[in-house]
Amino acid sequence: MNRILLLEDDALLAESVIEELEEAGYDVTWVQESEEAAEAAWEKGFSLYLFDVNVPGMNGFELLASLRESGDRTPALFMTSRNQIEDVRAGFASGADDYVKKPFDPQELLIRIEAKLPRSGRKIHSSVFSTDADNLAVFCHGRSETIPAKEFALLEFFLQRPNQLISPETIIDELYPENPISIATFRTYIKNLKRHLADCATVENVKGVGYRFKLL
């Protein structure tokens, strides 16, 4: 399930957005301050950031800029009442993928979110690397290989969070909430996945911190 981090200090609007997103099948984490958002972004993996701009603490532009500086490339969309052209320019300059002006149509918001998130079927991630979720396959330098479902689920998790450094505990909690696997089993999955990725991508292990997916 795609996870969305929602930063919005207006509780009524947040409740409305959460209702729409959850009905559409998204898992939403809601925070009201930029510091909370920064902590959540670091501790958990998200598929997309949905940020207001005028929030307690640093504003949404500054928050996203800091995340981008740290190497976080999670798709991000601003939804804000700041509608001047200089605001739009600042939003994209901070690293946004899209910008929605309040008030907005909830259906338009959903359409824009869906456009930013991975779709099922074959997805091209680089000129030499792509995946096919329907057939649990990876394509590397023209070579096709089917991989086990557990390793493929792990791959999709990383693909939704490119270049994010994520602890093994967080990954296990996200992927196996009902039947957590051991760290030893998790490392075996990582080892197997790296072998399937061959010379197209890798899962980098930062000792004592976590794992990060990288295209080669």
Note the pLDDT tens digit of each residue in 164-187: 899 999 999 988 887 888 999 999
Cβ neighbours around 213 below 10 Å, total = 23
Q: Which domains does the chain have, with CATH numbers?
A: 3-116 (3.40.50.2300), 122-215 (1.10.10.10)
Give 12's Cβ-side CA count (13 Å radius).
0
Quick one: average pLDDT of 31-59?
A: 92
User: Please, what is the average pLDDT of the chain?
Assistant: 88
Q: What's the CA gap between 99 and 137, in Å, rounded?
A: 34
100 vs 72 pLDDT, higher one = 100
Note the pLDDT tens digit of each residue in 93-135: 999 999 999 998 888 888 888 888 755 456 767 767 888 877 7
56 vs 114 pLDDT, higher one = 56
Q: What's the CA gap between 212 and 215, in Å, rounded?
A: 10
* 46, 5 contact by CB (below 8 A): yes
Quick one: average pLDDT of 188-203?
A: 90
Residue 90 CA to chain centroid, in angstroms? 22
Is the pLDDT reported for residue 40 higher than 50?
yes
* Look-up of token digits 């603490």: 57
pTM flag (> 0.95): no
SS3 186: helix
